[in-house]
Amino acid sequence: MRAVLFDIWGDYAHFRRFYTTSSPLTYSFPPPTAVRGMVGAILGMGKEEYIEKTSGLYVGIRVLNPVKRIRWGQNLINTKGSSGFDPTLHRKKEPRTQIKIEYLKNPRFRIFLSGDEKMLVEVASLLQEHRTHYTLCLGLSELLADFSYVGVEELEALPSGVYRISSVFPVDIVSDFGEAIEDGIKLLKERVPIYIDTNRVPRLYQDVIVEANGRPVKVGAKDGLYRLRDGSVIYLWPPASTHIRESS
């Protein structure tokens, strides 16, 4: 398998956890659904179009900078007037509301894409020229992102065994956590959406493990792992149709 690698980073990021509303919290990394949205932005796909067209990709995510969170209050304007913005807001008792939003500070991630060769060639070509059809962001349109092309690598599929996994990976693949706890290791478990359908309804959630400082985690694992040229091991989420069928 060949994979396209690129890094993406910014000052702040927010990937909203699905169960938070009035005080939004963020995931520690972009879920696979967000990564597919990035691919759609790179290639210039529409909001509904990219979901189907990127469903055949393998996706991996690695945390490069330590996970740091910051929260601050933001004023939201009341726009419940009959035609959107209400010019009489200043006469009302509460023309705005303030909510606290959680952000990631100075996030940086490495993205791995594999599968559709034609799509990968186009993605790699654009990334090499530092071009995208739409501006990349880190979860919210206001949180602009920069990116850099890393390269194309041949991946070696790995059998079941004990490995130091450098990327984010689902709990489902772990057969033994016995060696995961080491000095300096900080494990986080987050339940994230893996796939959504064309109506933007999540089709699969999984509990996912991420090491907060981006360090490799040593565990016994069953499947879905690949080795890079430098010896590091990553997990790739398979195409949507395959994974949803296997998980049913």
Q: What is the pLDDT of residues 193-237, one digit of tens each?
A: 999 888 888 889 999 999 999 999 999 998 899 999 999 999 999
Structural domain boundaries of the chain? 2-77+99-247
Mean pLDDT of the chain: 89
Higher-confidence position of 79 and 135:
135
| Count of Cβ atoms closer than 10 Å to residue 240 Cβ | 24
pLDDT, residue 73, reads: 87
**Residue 248 pLDDT level (bands cut at 50, 70, 90):** very low
Can you give the pLDDT at residue 198? 85
User: What residue type is 232 in one-letter code?
Assistant: S
The CATH class for the domain spanning 2-77+99-247 reads alpha beta
Q: What is the DSSP letter of 171?
A: G
Alpha carbons 36 and 33: distance in angstroms, whole number: 5
**Predicted local confidence at residue 77, as pLDDT:** 75
Q: What is the mean pLDDT of residues 121-141?
A: 96
Q: How many angstroms separate the CA atoms of 104 and 24, rounded? A: 12
Average confidence (pLDDT) over 178-187: 80
Is the pLDDT at 86 greater than 90? The verdict is no
Spatial contact of 194 and 233, defined as CB atoms under 8 Å apart: no
Whole-Å CA distances, 18 to 54, 69, 90, 101, 191 = 21, 17, 33, 14, 9
Q: Are the CB atoms for 61 and 35 separated by under 8 Å?
A: yes
Residue 242 binned pLDDT confidence (cut-offs 50, 70, 90): low
Q: Within a 10 A sphere around the Cβ of 45, how many other Cβ atoms?
A: 19
Tens of pLDDT, residue by residue over 163-176, are 999 999 999 999 88
Pick 86 or 239 by higher pLDDT.
239
pLDDT tens figures, 32-69: 999 999 999 999 998 889 999 999 999 999 999 999 99
Distance of CA 35 to the CA centre of its chain: 5
Residue 57 token pair: 């990709």
The beta strands (E) that lie in 32-134 are given as 58-63, 69-77, 96-105, 108-114
Confidence of residue 183 (pLDDT cuts 50, 70, 90): confident
